[in-house]
Amino acid sequence: MSLAFPSLRGAAPPRSVYVHVPFCRHRCGYCAFSVARASSPPVDAWLEAVRLDLDGWFEAAGWTEPAELDTIYVGGGTPSLLGGAGMERLAGVLAERFRWDPGSVEWTAEANPTSLDPEVAESWRALGVNRISLGVQSLDDAVLDWLGREHDAAGARRAVERCRDAGFERLNVDLLFGLPAEVRRSWRREVSEARELGAEHLSLYGLTAEPRTPLGRRVELGRTVMPEDDRYAREYLEAADLLSGAGYEHYEVSSFARSGHECRHNWCYWDGAPYLGLGPSAHSFLPPYRIWNVFRWDAYRRAVTRMAATEAVPTGTGGGAASLREGWEEIRGARARLERVWLGLRTRRGLLPGDLVRESSSAPEDPVARWMQADWIREVEGADGRRIRLTPAGWLRMDELVARLAG
Ligand code: SF4
């Protein structure tokens, strides 16, 4: 792609920011995120790079006043490796450009059970972090071992207790399903145990064998076989059933929340609201442009330093910024419509029936009618009238439906 960056002048300042911490003590065999291995991360260099990245956005968009934030999300990688001091310094970097009300901001930080010690949890809470997302993934030691995680099930439970002891009232627990058949697990028991952890929010992710990961290579060589569709579907539907029965609302394809505990930051993505992403691989959305940073930490660090040295910001034809902002796309017309359908269908909010009117009608049948018959889509009464919403069985087929609707 040519990197003649569009002008961002006049873009509305975002009310949400994502910061990527690209460090982990070791790399899990299935991980395709932007992660560098580091037992003690280069926090100084990372913070300086994030500060320059943030300055670049403000200069490119011509924002001169601090922007008000509703949500902050620090993800990774392993943000808990920042410790209390690193998170405090990150807050200082963000405060150079943003303002937030500690009483109303949603400030999430991801943590791994092994590096979230009591001091980290307490210092984060004192700083204003008010939501922790714990990378639990499984509550079975053999499964955690197969995944290459550093913690065991007891460690995951201790991490939940530490969060509560530190005063966190909003916890998310991530769980992985759809593992190969060679991994023996009782998924039903694990979901029940996860439910008993008492987290306000659970996120379920299906394992994928990404290319260029150890898992991807094993699958390519035929040494590991990913599960059949029916196992994947069975586990997803079983978890949806167990969690809904326990009072969690299944409000997005992967997300379950107790009343009042939905993730506001993620809603900003699903609503198509503007957000900034800082750090390697982070995506930003300044409508109508989605722009993403270079993927790897070392390339990001070099690019950000070069951008600062040449004082080139991504307002024109690239310069030093071109290698930092790796790519961009314009979300308009048919693309914008496709995104609206996809984002609407992935949440409980669903779509207005009019949103589904096809622009091209080359398909021989109406997929929506067929999906309603199969109970993959339902009509519900919303505050603004009739809406259509996917059922859990429909969410399993969401990509197929969106592809059909996109023509
Ligand atoms: S902890 Fe998460 S980000 Fe880090 S290597 Fe494992 S899967 Fe990747």
Given this model, what pLDDT does residue 362 score? 55
pLDDT in tens, 277-315: 999 999 999 999 999 999 999 999 999 999 888 865 554
Whole-number Å distance, alpha carbon 80 to ligand 1 midpoint, is: 12
Give the binding-site residues of ligand 1, using a 6 Å CB cut-off: 24, 27-28, 31, 33, 35, 76-78, 112, 135
Compute, in angstroms, the gap from residue 27 CA to the centroid of ligand 1: 6
Give the residue whose CA is nearest to atom 2 of ligand 1: 77
Question: Going by CA atoms, what residue is nearest to atom 8 of ligand 1?
Answer: 31
Q: At CB < 8 A and 24+ separation, what contacts does 240-244 make? A: 240/392, 241/392, 242/188, 242/191, 242/192, 242/195, 243/191, 243/195, 243/202
Indicate the helix (H) or strand (E) that contains 293. Answer: strand 289-293
Least confident of 259-268, 308-317, 379-388: 308-317
In ligand 1, the atom with minimum distance to the C-alpha of 150 is: 1
Question: How much distance in Å is there from the Cα of 126 to the middle of ligand 1?
Answer: 26
175, containing H or E segment: strand 171-177
Which DSSP helix (H) or strand (E) runs through 109? strand 106-111
Burial of 3 (0-12, 13-18, 19+ CB in 10 A): middle
pLDDT computed for residue 318 by the predictor: 44
pTM: 0.94
- Cα(77) to ligand 1 centroid in Å equals 6
Q: Which of 34, 35, 174 to mutate to test the pocket of ligand 1 (most atoms within 8 A of CB)?
A: 35
pLDDT tens, residue by residue, 182-196? 999 999 999 999 999
Q: Stretch 390-403: mean pLDDT, rounded?
A: 92
The band of 405, judged by pLDDT with boundaries at 50, 70 and 90, is confident
Which of 145-149, 184-188, 227-231 has the lowest average pLDDT? 227-231
Distance from the alpha carbon of residue 33 to the mean position of ligand 1, in angstroms: 7
Kindly report the protein residue whose alpha carbon is nearest to atom 7 of ligand 1. Answer: 31
Ligand 1 atom closest to 32 (CA): 8
